[in-house]
Chain A
């Protein structure tokens, strides 16, 4: 995989950073797309470039088509190729539907679903041109089970899963695979804010009896991105300790 080029959206923090790191370790040049947290972007750059000096960051909002197209164009102009796209950027605006402000519905759809649409669409030309590509979408158990308070989020992630299956069928003959990874409860910044009661409730639902690590998610992504996974497409892998 050395010499390949990847874009990881939301790639500077949490699960996204673990994915970026796993690619860097394989010699894959990574462009991490981030939307706002400059400090996290800077520290991800320092950390990952200390492994191998092939990490880069680009600031862009994945829900903005023009910004997405500019990102893909600049990566292809710089490197002449684009092999892997990981659609990892996502937001949560939880709330019960009856009382949900419209903006919370639309913003979640814009980032989680429209973002996947813009990014995936933009990488198809370079990938079809090279007759090789990997698109990996990060989804959620919410896409598979449903969860009260997450109608917006689960609809967006369920949409991404269906999108994954259909796009896989469109581009299979060009050597491009499209798959999804569904991380369960993973130890990140977010879980750090959970109080003991909530932690306990989540843990009681997870047969493995612990939260996952970002590395356990990136292992699955890294596998799907590899040459060895070339016959797997339109599928998802749950990395959730048996939750679903």
Chain B
């Protein structure tokens, strides 16, 4: 249940944080890649998302290797946060 809630929360956070005007949280496929294809986000967008996620969940995404793992998809991001949040 916690995981499902977090998935929805993250979809909303991504849309709000990145000011995605043509995307609704419900449009985001939680299994699809966040960057590169799908939403069409670029790696610079990811910087702001990193800062927002670190602030909101008290996690740390220290470098791009961790970032790649965490941003693989909304599902992956959810798992990463559940494992690492304070």
Residues of A within 8 A of B (CB): 124-125, 128-129, 170-171, 173-174
B20 within 8 A of A: no
Q: How far is the CB of B56 from chain A (nearest CB, A)?
A: 11
Residue of A nearest to B49 (CB): A128
Chain B residues with CB below 8 A from A171, complex form: 47
CA distance A128 to B51 in the complex (A): 7
Nearest-neighbour CB distance to chain A for B44, whole angstroms, equals 6
Interface of B is mostly: helix
Residues of A within 8 A of B52 (CB): 129
B47 pairs with A128, CB closer than 8 A = yes
Mostly helix, strand, loop or mixed at chain A's interface?
helix
Complex contacts, B51 vs chain A, CB 8 Å: 125, 128-129
- Among residues of A, the one whose C-beta sits closest to the C-beta of B48 is A128
Q: Is the CB of B44 within 8 A of A170?
A: yes
A-B contact pairs, 15 of them (CB 8 A): A124-B47, A125-B51, A125-B54, A128-B47, A128-B48, A128-B51, A129-B51, A129-B52, A129-B55, A170-B44, A170-B47, A171-B47, A173-B44, A174-B47, A174-B48
Nearest-neighbour CB distance to chain B for A233, whole angstroms, equals: 14
Q: Report the separation of the CA atoms of residues A124 and B48 in the bound assembly, to the nearest whole angstrom.
A: 10
Q: How far is the CB of A223 from chain B (nearest CB, A)?
A: 27
Query: Which residues of the other chain, A, contact B47 by a CB distance below 8 angstroms?
Result: 124, 128, 170-171, 174
How far is A171 from B50 in the complex, measured between Cα atoms in Å?
Answer: 14
Give the residues from 37 to 86 in chain B that come closer than 8 angstroms, CB to CB, to chain A: 44, 47-48, 51-52, 54-55
Residues of B within 8 A of A170 (CB): 44, 47
